[in-house]
Structure 1
Amino acid sequence: MKKSLVLILAWGCLSGLSAETIQRSNVSLREGAGAFFPVVKILNRGDDVSIRESGEQWIQVSTSDQKSGWVSAMAFESGAESIDYGVMANDWTDRKASKTMVNAAVKGFFENQFEREGVLNKSVMDQPIRRTFNPQDYLTFRENTYHTRWSPNRFRRQYRLKQNKGFVIDETLFAVSAYTAGRLTAPGLVRDTRLTAYVNQIAQLIAENTEFYDLPMTVHVVDTDDIYANALPIGVIVISKGMLKQISSEHELACLIGHEIAHVTLGHGETEMDKRKVKFRAEDAFGELDEAFGTDTKEMDALADEMYERAIKGRKEEYEAEADVQGAIYAYRAGYEPDGMLTLMRKLETKIPRNPDPDDVRHWFPYSFKNRLNHLSEFISKELKTNEHYVKNENRYRMITAGL
């Protein structure tokens, strides 16, 4: 479709015209205006819908088969600057990894070598993406968070963001992400459902203020006193209980989550993986993986291990510096004081040992920590002007995490 026509369609959507055409593939039609609502059906490029209500991020539509719900406003924009959710296009809580692993011919390897040794959480590997709160509880949480302050939209407009490059969530990306999540959560998950919901609600609040606000987020809180936090390209974040113990306020947690989400939106994990997965990318990922590997798991295992090593050892210095800045912006746009990452990093600098062991999950940042601190401090002081409307929320954080 020509660019001019795309612009006309996008403008028509925003100006209240009654009919439009979906411009992207794997678009989730959801029950409500948010990535945390269940999926009604999947729409694809060329599907016609009727516009019922327009918004800045979400648009209410009805389909030719009388289904109604909400789609991301990006559904009406052509181009490659959004995530193609591919294998995650159905209801994300139903997306399991076991079939993926079987077809990739690596499930036996995982079970035999890692699960037996107690370094793999099979439950998380099988289902890394989960719903940890119901939509109404989140809407109440969001309303309470912004109570007596500016509206969410006003915070969101404080620092304009350009759209980043998009990527496709294919079978390989999902499988390796699920495997990595399983290894990072090997100690098990905390059983405090209130704490888990709280951390996930903050993650949703931050995600709504990113370019990829339609990406479903899941945060797993690991029951270990080791200190680490990592993100995977499919929108899964792993944070240890030990990390939460180092945090003293909600704005520090918001900035940390923003940092991890930034790794996803900036495409860091996908970029690294893309260097290795070219040989088994295909339209039918299941079939190609079967044909390429059969019972030989060496390439897939190497890819999975490389992603895990990236996660636990700290990514490239430039990735971390980019995520520091972008994470501060995300927290800022969500209404939090943006210096939370600075205060947290200063504490972590004295807490986390410089262990050269590549299997030590605490070794999550590179040695250029002071450079990152200086760079982030300079950016915040220059670009992110705050006032009394931006919060830290120390009391709410302390109340919910009191049992750690």
Structure 2
Amino acid sequence: MRTWIKASTLFTIAGLTACSSSPTGRNQILMFSDSEMSSLGAKSFEQMKKEIPISKNKKTNAYVQCVAKHITDTIPPQPGFTEWEVVVFDSDQVNAFALPGGKIGVYTGLLKVAKNQDQLATVIGHEVAHVLADHSNERLSQSQLANAGLSLANVALGASEYKEYQQVTMSALGLGVQYGVILPYGRTQESEADIVGLKYMAKAGFNPNQSVDLWQNMGKASGGSQPPEFFSTHPSHSTRIKDLQATINTLPAYNVKAPKCG
């Protein structure tokens, strides 16, 4: 009975108090406050800084900081934090991320694929867009509601049957957790971050056309090993490029002097 009450409470809270809209007008359920998300982001970031080597290369750090600053300077003050923190991690991973609370991480491996400042700005703009669109909050809220649903299934199926299907169900829901707050984004969120992030980087003076070159580089770097789009949480490179080209054609002329970061 307690499980049913708990689940019912979660759904009631979500339905009454957590409705919101994303930057592209999607309906979202956000169950956590800005301060809660910023706290989670900060704690996760501190943990990562302890566990992953941080680059000491002054030139690389200055370059990444410059690109990131030009983008974040175009963004109005955000609830939950006052400053953006950027850290370059010394890792071969071709990746970057941004966490609630204004935390940005860039792996040095990305700089081998993002070959100029405009391509790097594409990635950073994309990751910052995840934060400003509350995608982490959305994923955590979905996880919370899904766990309530799984609790209901536990009661309906019985503990032994539920245990047998739990791992498969959790995987299907994308509930893997790393460093506390990093949950995999879905294709809709990834596509949204592409569109919103492109606007941020263009507004900062970077060349949006380089976003297409970036994803062509990504495709080459993957060696054609990317799984079909249907089986992936990320859009395929071809879909991403098509959507980016369509967005570029709608961007206003910002008339901003191009940054000189590298």
Q: How does 1:181-220 map to 2 (within 5 A)?
A: 182-183=47-48, 186-212=51-77, 215-220=82-87
Q: 1:306 aligns with which of 177, 189, 196?
A: 177
Which residue identity lines up with residue 381 of structure 1 in the other structure?
N
Q: Cα gap change, 1:334/1:367 in structure 2, threshold over 3 Å: closer, same or farther?
A: closer
Q: 1:372 aligns with which of 240, 244, 255?
A: 240
Identity score, percent: 23
Per the alignment, residue 344 of structure 1 pairs with: 214
Q: How does 1:11-50 map to 2 (within 5 A)?
A: none
Q: 1:174 aligns with which of 28, 35, 39?
A: 39
Q: Cα gap change, 1:209/1:386 in structure 2, threshold over 3 Å: closer, same or farther?
A: closer
Q: How does 1:50-61 map to 2 (within 5 A)?
A: none
Give the distance between the partners of 1:235 and 1:253, measured in 2 at CA. 18
Deviations 1:206-263 (A, max 9, x none): 1121244674211221111221111211211221111012222212222221111100
Calculate the TM-score normalised by the size of structure 1.
0.43
Calculate the TM-score normalised by the size of structure 2.
0.63
- Does the CA-based 8 Å contact 1:337-1:390 persist in structure 2? no
Q: 1:268 aligns with which of 128, 135, 141?
A: 135
Cα-Cα RMSD? 3.8
Deviation at 1:384, TM superposition (A): 4.0
Bigger share in helix: 2
Unaligned 5+ segments in structure 2 are: 1-18, 146-173
Per the alignment, residue 189 of structure 2 pairs with: 319
Give the distance between the partners of 1:173 and 1:224, measured in 2 at CA. 25
Look up the SS of the partner of 1:191 in the other structure: coil
Deviation at 1:264, TM superposition (A): 0.6
Q: How does 1:54-203 map to 2 (within 5 A)?
A: 168-171=33-36, 174-175=39-40, 178-179=43-44, 182-183=47-48, 186-203=51-68
Q: 1:254 aligns with which of 117, 121, 125?
A: 121
Per the alignment, residue 205 of structure 2 pairs with: 335
Which residue identity lines up with residue 306 of structure 1 in the other structure?
V
Unaligned 5+ segments in structure 1 are: 1-79, 82-160, 279-302, 357-363, 398-404
- Does the CA-based 8 Å contact 1:206-1:331 persist in structure 2? yes
Give the distance between the partners of 1:186 and 1:310, measured in 2 at CA. 16
Q: 2:88 aligns with which of 221, 226, 240?
A: 221
Structure having the higher Rg? 1
Deviations 1:346-369 (A, max 9, x none): 10111036478xxxxxxx972522
Deviation at 1:194, TM superposition (A): 4.2
Deviation at 1:308, TM superposition (A): 5.2
- Does the CA-based 8 Å contact 1:189-1:223 persist in structure 2? yes
Look up the SS of the partner of 2:69 in the other structure: helix
Give the distance between the partners of 1:345 and 1:365, measured in 2 at CA. 16
- Does the CA-based 8 Å contact 1:221-1:239 persist in structure 2? yes
Deviation at 1:311, TM superposition (A): 4.6
Give the distance between the partners of 2:49 and 2:213, measured in 1 at CA. 25
Look up the SS of the partner of 1:348 in the other structure: helix
Deviation at 1:277, TM superposition (A): 5.6
Structure with more contact order per residue of length (Cα contacts < 8 Å, sep ≥ 6):
2
- Does the CA-based 8 Å contact 1:209-1:333 persist in structure 2? yes
Give the distance between the partners of 2:71 and 2:37, measured in 1 at CA. 27
